[in-house]
Amino acid sequence: GFTYGDDIAAGKVLANELRLKLGEDIPRFIEDGGLILGICNGFQVLVKAGILPRPANDSPPLLTLMTNDSGKFECRWVHLRVNKKSPCVFTQGINSLYLPVAHAEGKVVADPKVLPELDVVLYYTDEDGNSNAVYPYNPNGSVGNIAGIGDTSGHIFALMPHPERYIRGTQHPQWTRLGAKQYGDGFQIFLNAVKWAQGL
């Protein structure tokens, strides 16, 4: 996270490097069906590089990430609902997740025209699963409570929450009180990617 210190804007410098140094390789990798996962700063990089949402004919970006509505770094655990209509490989078979977030620039802002066409994979919810969540359940003020997006192929996934920080049950802050599960909620996201790769 915080590539290049988030100078200029979160993820912007690395996004420029990807476009300049891997400009032809990334589209080819996508066309060949490769998987791409961007977590937190990775989400910011994929958006700033124009990889998500997938632009048409080099059109200007219709979505970006901005400073949280709270104006501060948000480090907390959030409830998430998976969009069952999404073709995302990483979230198949998952209904909901409880994962940590840690960011200052995670607010999804989008042109209203792009929202109906956007492949939203994850939504922030309250603890009862209601998707009209407000702060602190939506930690950044993202439009539509968007926590993660993908593409129509289901092979590209970008999210602000951190599944890699909840792989083992003991990574939950209350595991001693609640009893530790063997695997945390983030484990299935990576397992899905492995299973997909094994099927090639």
Considering only CA atoms, which of 94, 151, 162, 89 is closest in space to residue 120? 151
Residues 6+ apart with CB under 8 A from 9: 48, 105
162 in catalytic set: yes
164 in catalytic set: yes
Which one from 40, 79, 88, 172 is the annotated catalytic residue? 40
166 in Cβ contact with 186 (< 8 Å) = yes
75 in catalytic set: no
Considering only CA atoms, which of 133, 68, 127, 131 is closest in space to residue 101? 68
Which one from 79, 103, 155, 162 is the annotated catalytic residue? 162
Tell me which residue has tokens 């996201």: 189
Q: Cite the active site residues.
A: 40, 162, 164
